Amino acid sequence: MSNKIDIINVVKSKLGDKVQIQLGQLGTAAINTNNGLHRDVLKALLEADEKTGITAISGVDLGVNLGVLYHVHTSNAFVTIRAEVPKDNPKIQTIVDLIPGAAFHEFEVSDLLGVIFVGNELKGHLVLSENWPEGIFPLRKDVKATEVKLNPAPVEEKAPDMGKLVKIIIGPQHPALLEPEKFAVTVDGEIVTKVEPRIGYVHRGIEKASESRTYIQDVYLVERICGICNACHAYGFVAAVEKILKTEVPERAKYLRVVTLELNRLHSHLLTLGHAGLEIGYETLFQYFWRDREPIMDLIELTSGNRVYASLMTIGGVRRDIKDTDIPKIKTTLEDLRKKLPFYRQVYENEPSIKARMRNVGTLSREDAIKLCVVGPVARGSGYDIDVRKDDPYEAYGQIPFNKIVYTEGDTWARMNVRMDEVEESINIIQYAIDHLPTGPFRIDVPRNVIAGESISRNEAPRGELFYYVKSNGTAFPERVKVRTPTFANIPSFLKTAIGENIADVPPNFVSLDPCFSCTDR
Amino acid sequence: MFKRTFSHMFTKPATTKYPFVKPTLPEGFRGKPEHTIKTCNMIDLSGTQRELGFDVQALVNTNCTVCCRDCPASAITIVEVDGKKRPQFDLNKCIFCNQCVESCSRDAIKGSKNYELAAVDKSSLVIKPQPNAKEGKKQ
Amino acid sequence: MIDIWLILRILIFPGFAFILLLTLFCDWIERKFEARIQNRVGPLVAGPAGLFQPLADFIKLLTKEDIEPRDAKKIVFRFAPLLAFTIMVFAICFLPIDGASVLSTGGFSGDLIVILTFSTIASFLMFLSGWASANPYGTISSARVLTQFLGYDIPLFLIALTPAFIVGSLSIFTIAAGVTLASGQTIPIILLAPWAFVLFIITMQAELEKDPFDVPESESELVGGVCTEFTGAKLAFLHLTRDVQIVFGSALVVELFLGGPYGPVFFGLPAFWYSLWFVLKLLAVVIITEYITTLFARLRIDQVLSANWKILLPAALLSLMATVALVTWVYPLV
C-alpha cells in the first residue's frame, strides 16, 4: 500500500454502503459500523495488509449506548472502526480469532465498562481488585468513585495439588520487579510450563480521575501515570487536545518538544540497560550505566527544572525556553555520553557471561510479534520494523534525519542492542534539533473551554507506541481520556516467550520487555 | 571490562557525598513556590517569616483565585483574612509543578530553589497567611 | 586442670574474638573494594570511613523481631544457622595463625581432610536451613545449594591434595611451612604449582557462592535464597556464617599455597609477625576473590553444573596428575 487512502478504498469497495467512512477523522479515517460489521471491516483490512494490528480498543459511555472503538494500524494508515452496543445488552462479537493480540484490550473494556465480548469473556477482573463489587463498572458516567462500597476481602483458596509441578509466585513484591504485579509461574523442575499474570496492583483510576479535572490540571495528572516516560504521556494528551482545538503550535515549540522527548528516551534506555545488568547479577554494569545516566538527569533538570517530572508540555507549546547559555553544556554532556558508548557496545559483544545469559533467551519470532501486536524495541528486536516517529511523523521528527534500528534475532540480546543503538540516535537527534532551533515564540494562548470533538494522538515512548484518545464535550472538563500504554500491549508476548525456558531466564527475559507497570495499570 | 575495572581502583568515586556536600542547582529549578506579597494592603506577613515560610513583603492579590483553580493537586485553598481572600499553600500536597507561578497574572507567586523541606509535623507545612497589627503601605 | 592460657587463646586471640573481628573487617574491605571498582564510595558514615558498618548491620539484625513460619521444622530452623557458624569457626581453629593454631602447636597428620569435611558439613547445614523454611523460594534455593557445593567439593578436594603431594604430608602445618630446597630456603607451594593455585581460586569461588557462581543466592529470581524466611538473630548468624566461610576459604588458600603465616621476622616476637603476615596474605586473597566477583555476571544453574563436570573436574584431575609427575621425576633434580 503506497498511499494511505488505498486501504480505505479497499474497504469501500468490499463493503460499499454498509459502512460510513469519514476521512481525516481519528487517524486516516473513521469507519462507522453497526450490526456487527466490525469483523468484516477487520477481515478486509487483514486481507489487504498483513501488518495490520490492533493498537487499542476504547470504550466510551455515550449515554444510552456504549461505544466501542477499534483503533487499527496498518503499514501506513491508521483506521478507527466505531461500533455501538446498547447498555442493557452490551454484547459484541470478539475479534480474538482474527488478531490474537486483542485479548488484553477486550478484557480491559469488559472490566471497566461492562461490554461483553462474545467468545472472549473475562473471568474475574483484569485491573480492578478482587473485592470490587459485581456489576459496577467504574468508567460509566453514573458511577461515582467515592460511593462504591468494596466487598470484604476474598478468602484465598487452597491451591490444588499439582504433583511435581511447583507454582512460584513472582510478585507482587519481588526484587526482580520494580513495580508490583503478580506472575504465577508453574515450573517443572527448572523449566517453565505456564505463566498466569495478574495486573492491576497499581490501578489508580487515572482515566476516571481525568474526567473531573480541567484540561490544565489533566496535563499534570497524566504526566504522573509513569515516572520514567512522563514527557511522552504529557505530550500525548496535549497533542490530542490541540488536534481538537485545531491549533498549530509554533515551530520553536515543536523542536523544543523533540528535545524533551529525546532526553526522556535517553534516560529511560540507560535505566533499562542498567537494570538488565542487575537482573543477571552483573552489578558492576548496573552501576556504570547509572553513573552515566546522572549527567542526563542533570540536563533534564537544567532544561525543565526537575530531574524526573519535566512538566514542560502544555496545551499550546512548551512552558519554558532553552537559554542560549545552556546550550554548550548540553552539547558537551551529550558528547561525553557518546564517547562512552563504544565501551558498552564492546561489553555486550564480547563479555562471555552476558552472552551466556542473554543469547537465545526469550526469543520472539516475527510472525508472533505481528500477531500479538507488540510495540517498541520488543518489536524492533524481532524484525518487525514499526516506529511511530518514522511511520507517522509528529512534531519536528519529519524534518530531522535519523535511522530506524531493527535487529532480527528476536532474543533478549537483540532487544538490548536495539536500545543501545537508539541511545546514539537520540544523541544525534538532540544535537540536530539544538543546532536548527527556529526562532519565534514557544507558546500560544488557548481557550480554557475546549469545543466538542474527539481525536487521537500517537507517539513513540521509550517503551513503544503510546496512544491517546480524547473526547471533549465543550466544557472545561474532558469527557473521556483513554490511554493505551506500550507495556500493556507487550505483556502477552512475555506470556508466550517464557514457556519452555529455565526459571532463571525469567528475569532477564522480563526486563528486556522494559516493563513499566504504573503505565500498564494507570 | 577488566581494564576498565582495574583503572577504577585509582580514580575518584563519582558519588556526591550529600549531605556533607550540597549540589549546585541550575536556575529555574522548581522548588517551593514562594508567595511574594508586594506592597499593598494591610496584610504584612513579615512577622511570620521563617526559613520554611514565604518571603513576604505585602500582598497584591486581586481576589482572582486563579492559582486555586489551576492547581493540579488542590494544594491551594482560599482563606479569608481581614476581609481579603488570600491563598493558603499546603506543601503536603504540592507537587512543585509551578503552575501557580504561571497562572498568576500579577506575578505574586515566584518559584524558589528551596527543596529541603522535610518536617516532623504536618501542620508546619501549611503556609497560612496571617494578619498583622502593623499597617502596610497602600498600593 | 584448667589451662588459662588455652582458654585465652580460644576466646580471644587467635580464637573467637580475633576471628570475629577479622570477619567483620574482611566484610568491610570487600564492600569498600567493590564500591571502588564500581566507581562509588561504600560505607561511609558508621565509624571512621565506615569501619563499623558490618558491626552495625550485625547489631541491627539482632534487635529485629524473630518470626517463625508455622510450617517450618522447628529444631532445624532454630539451630542450623548457629551450628553452621560454630562449625566454621571451629574449622578455622585448626589453621596455624601465629605459628601455632588455636588448639595445638603442631597439628596432626590428616587435619586437612578434617577441616575440608567441616566445611562440607557447614554447607550442608546451610542447605538444611533453607529446606526447613517451608517456602518455595527456600526450597528451590536449597536444592541449588546442594547441587552446587556437592558438585564442586570433588575438584576442591582434588586440588587441595596437590600441595599435600608436593610436600608429602596431610598435615596443614607441614604444608604451610612450604618446601625446603636443597639450598635451605623454603618456598611456598604456589611457585611449584601455579596452575593449581588458579584452579583452587576458581573452585573456592564456587564453594563460597560468589559471582559468577552466585546461583543459590540469586536475588533477582529467588528473593532471599536460603535465608528468605529468617529474620532477626538467625539471619544475623546466617550472614555471619557466609562471611566466616569467606574468611575460611581465603585462609585455606593462604595456608595451602601462599606459605601460611610464615614470613620474614624482623624484630621481637615471631608470633606477632606471623599473625601480621597471615592477615596481610588473607586480605590479598579476599581482594582477589572480590575482584573476580565484580567482573562477571551470574551464570545459570545448568551452566554452572556443566562448567563443573565438563571443565573443572577434568582440569583438577589433570593438574593432580601433572603435579604427581613433576614431584616424582622433575623436582628431586632441583
Q: d(Cα C289, Cα C204) in Å, to the nearest integer?
A: 9
pLDDT of B39:
28
Q: Do A506 and C221 touch (CB under 8 A)?
A: yes
Locate the chain A residue with the closest alpha carbon to C40.
A287
Q: Do B5 and C44 touch (CB under 8 A)?
A: no
Mutation test of the interface with chain B: which of A212, A213, A214, A217, choosing the one with the most B Cβ atoms within 10 A?
A: A217
Contacts of A190 in chain C (CB under 8 A): 301-302
Q: Do A283 and C214 touch (CB under 8 A)?
A: no
Q: d(Cα C143, Cα C164) in Å, to the nearest integer?
A: 32
A interface residues, C as partner, C-beta within 8 Å: 166-169, 174-176, 190, 277-285, 287-288, 291, 351, 353-354, 356-357, 502-507
Rg (CA), chain C: 20
pLDDT at B54 over 50: no
Mutation test of the interface with chain A: which of B32, B69, B97, choosing the one with the most A Cβ atoms within 10 A?
A: B97
Q: Which helix (H) or strand (E) holds A197?
A: strand A191-198
* Per-residue confidence band for B60, with pLDDT thresholds at 50, 70 and 90: very low
Q: Do C295 and B1 touch (CB under 8 A)?
A: yes
Contacts of B2 in chain C (CB under 8 A): 295
pLDDT of B45:
34
Residue stretches of chain A with pLDDT short of 70: 1-4, 157-162, 176
Locate the chain B residue with the closest alpha carbon to A325.
B27
pLDDT at B56 over 60: no
CA distance C62 to chain B (A): 28
Mutation test of the interface with chain B: which of A206, A210, A215, A220, choosing the one with the most B Cβ atoms within 10 A?
A: A220
Q: Do B2 and C295 touch (CB under 8 A)?
A: yes
Contacts of A309 in chain B (CB under 8 A): 95, 97
B5 touches chain C (CB under 8 A): yes
pLDDT of A160:
64
Locate the chain C residue with the closest alpha carbon to A354.
C297
CA distance C42 to chain A (A): 12
pLDDT of A358:
82
Q: Do C296 and A353 touch (CB under 8 A)?
A: yes
Who among C37, C223, C297 is closest to A357 (CB)?
A: C297
User: In whole numbers, what is the pLDDT of chain C averaged over residues?
Assistant: 82
* Per-residue confidence band for B133, with pLDDT thresholds at 50, 70 and 90: very low
Q: Do A354 and C140 touch (CB under 8 A)?
A: no
Strand partners, C180: C186
Q: Which helix (H) or strand (E) holds A193?
A: strand A191-198
B26 touches chain A (CB under 8 A): yes
Cell 476474598 -> residue: A154
Residue-wise pLDDT tens digits, C145-166: 888 888 888 888 888 888 888 7
Residue-wise pLDDT tens digits, C87-146: 988 888 888 877 777 676 666 777 888 888 888 888 888 888 888 887 777 887 888 888
CA distance A197 to chain C (A): 16
Contacts of B14 in chain C (CB under 8 A): 39-40
Residue-wise pLDDT tens digits, C184-199: 667 777 777 788 888 8
* Per-residue confidence band for B135, with pLDDT thresholds at 50, 70 and 90: very low
Question: How many other C-beta atoms lie within 10 A of the C-beta of residue A254?
Answer: 21
Please give the full DSSP string across C290-322, using - where no structure is assigned: HHHHHH--PPPHHHHHHIIIIIIHHHHHHHHHH
Please give the full DSSP string across A3-51, using - where no structure is assigned: SHHHHHHHHHHHHGGGSEEEETSSSSEEEE--TTTHHHHHHHHHHH-TT
Residue-wise pLDDT tens digits, C40-87: 888 888 878 888 888 998 999 889 888 888 877 888 888 888 888 889
Residue-wise pLDDT tens digits, B14-31: 677 766 777 777 776 776
* Per-residue confidence band for C183, with pLDDT thresholds at 50, 70 and 90: low
Locate the chain C residue with the closest alpha carbon to B11.
C39
* Per-residue confidence band for B63, with pLDDT thresholds at 50, 70 and 90: low
pLDDT of B53:
31
* Cβ-based neighbours of C290, under 8 Å, separated by 6 or more: C29, C30, C33, C34, C210
B34 against C280, higher pLDDT: C280
Mutation test of the interface with chain B: which of C29, C36, C45, C293, choosing the one with the most B Cβ atoms within 10 A?
A: C36
Mutation test of the interface with chain B: which of A292, A301, A341, A446, choosing the one with the most B Cβ atoms within 10 A?
A: A301
Subunits close to C (at least 3 CB pairs below 8 A): A, B
C-alpha neighbours within 13 Å on the C-beta side of residue C88: 30
Q: Do B5 and C41 touch (CB under 8 A)?
A: no
Q: d(Cα C216, Cα C208) in Å, to the nearest integer?
A: 10
Measured torsion, CA atoms of residues A311, A313, A314, A316, in degrees rounded to the nearest 10: 160
pLDDT at C214 over 60: yes
pLDDT of C225:
76
Subunits close to B (at least 3 CB pairs below 8 A): A, C
Contacts of A291 in chain B (CB under 8 A): 14
* Per-residue confidence band for B129, with pLDDT thresholds at 50, 70 and 90: low
Query: What is the reported pTM?
Result: 0.85
* Per-residue confidence band for B59, with pLDDT thresholds at 50, 70 and 90: very low
pLDDT of A37:
78
Question: How many other C-beta atoms lie within 10 A of the C-beta of residue A147?
Answer: 7
CA distance A354 to chain C (A): 7
Cell 490474537 -> residue: A100
Q: d(Cα A451, Cα C203) in Å, to the nearest integer?
A: 73
Q: Do B1 and A351 touch (CB under 8 A)?
A: yes
